Amino acid sequence: MDFLNGTLRSANSIAGLFDSVCDCSPAPPAMGLPGAIVRALCAFRPIAVETMGRLIYAPRDLGGSAMEKRISVCLTFDFDAMSVWIGTFHAKSPSAISRGEFGRVGTERLLRMLREWGIRSTWFVPGHTADAFPTTVAKIAEEGHEIAHHGYFHEQAKTPADETLDFDRATAALKRVTGREPVGYRSPAAGLTSATLDCLLQRNFLYDSSMMGNDFSPYYCRVGDQAPADGPFVWGRETNLVEMPFTWGLDDFPAFEFVMTHHGVIPGLHSPSQMYEIWVGDFDYLYDRLGEGVFILTMHPQCIGRGHRLLMLERLVDHMRNRNGVTFRTMSEVALEFKKTTPLTIR
């Protein structure tokens, strides 16, 4: 009995340490505990359990919060292949263009991983890629993934007329290979023009994923915004086109690709651990602080498809899959649900 009482006293002393660290705001600096230890203590903050008339403590359920979690995760892949080097960077060298060819290798690896996970994803495919790798693009669609629009040559059109031609050429290529017309769009290099949204609306697209007005919540795209250099911003009107927000911080290309251009150098070649810290940090903020929303990750098979980066992606997906209330979905599924639960109010 003396041993048991001593154990209980020790447990209650430990509980006091947890309470002083986790319940005080800020934590008492006199404790001198490093921040990492404080966070670890908070993560395992115990709950009181009464046993034999005494309070003892047990680790808190790692599910964490009483808040019900409703998190959608959209894994998206821009299968640019050679088009990004030809269209965006105007490359002529076979060395540069071959970097896009590796996108097919990365795609095969990603499809195998997604198959093992049982996850459906969204692939933004330029028409040029569909024409270059029809068998691979058809396979993506056959395995249940969404195929979305990403222009034809992965370039910004010079005129609205050029954009319309490029847009329809890409749609025709995707339909020819997959048998379906896309309902979602992501502009090459996040370069919407003033005419792009009108182009999408005229063709009854469901969503765009090129803008950054939110991070974890879809919203309705506007047309008619005005940004004069000598006056206040003028808000346009909302349309029924859903915006599935994009951000460069959740995009692998700037982090991983080393690119030399006439305008400068994209250094790239960051370690996967750096990107893991950023990506998992955004996910954990959404999960722990907000509890509801959509996490949209943008990747490129020619970037993420390298071995050491795929290991990081495996780690990230495992981290997300092990959380309650997390569902992996396609972009169109999330956009359709948004329109159903948040109908557009015409003003």
What confidence tens digit (pLDDT) does each residue in 207-221 have? 999 999 999 999 999
CATH 3.20.20.370 domain locations along the chain? 70-341
* pLDDT for the residue numbered 96: 77
For residue 320, pLDDT beyond 70 = yes
- φ, ψ of residue 46 in degrees (nearest 5): -80, 165
More confident residue, 54 or 245: 245
More confident residue, 122 or 101: 122
Tell me what percent of the residues of the chain surpass a pLDDT of 90.
63
| pLDDT tens readout for residues 248-277 | 999 998 888 877 666 776 776 788 999 999
For residue 64, pLDDT beyond 80 = no
Q: How many helices (H) and strands (E) does the chain have?
A: 13, 13
| pLDDT tens readout for residues 154-206 | 888 888 999 999 999 999 999 999 999 999 999 998 888 878 999 999 999 99
* pLDDT for the residue numbered 89: 55
* pLDDT for the residue numbered 325: 97
Helix (H, G, I), strand (E, B) or coil at 268: coil
More confident residue, 312 or 64: 312
For residue 34, pLDDT beyond 70 = no
Banded model confidence at residue 347, pLDDT cuts 50, 70, 90: low
Q: What DSSP string describes 122-144? A: EEEE-HHHHHH-HHHHHHHHHTT
For residue 31, pLDDT beyond 80 = no
The correct CATH number of 70-341 out of 3.40.50.1000, 3.40.30.10, 3.20.20.370, 3.50.50.60 is: 3.20.20.370
For residue 62, pLDDT beyond 60 = no
In whole angstroms, what is the distance from residue 250 CA to residue 83 CA? 21
In whole angstroms, what is the distance from residue 10 CA to residue 51 CA? 15
Banded model confidence at residue 83, pLDDT cuts 50, 70, 90: confident
Banded model confidence at residue 87, pLDDT cuts 50, 70, 90: low
Q: Is the Cβ–Cβ distance between 217 and 294 less than 8 Å?
A: yes
How much is the mean pLDDT over the chain? 82
Helix (H, G, I), strand (E, B) or coil at 202: helix
What is the widest separation between alpha-carbon atoms in the chain?
Answer: 87
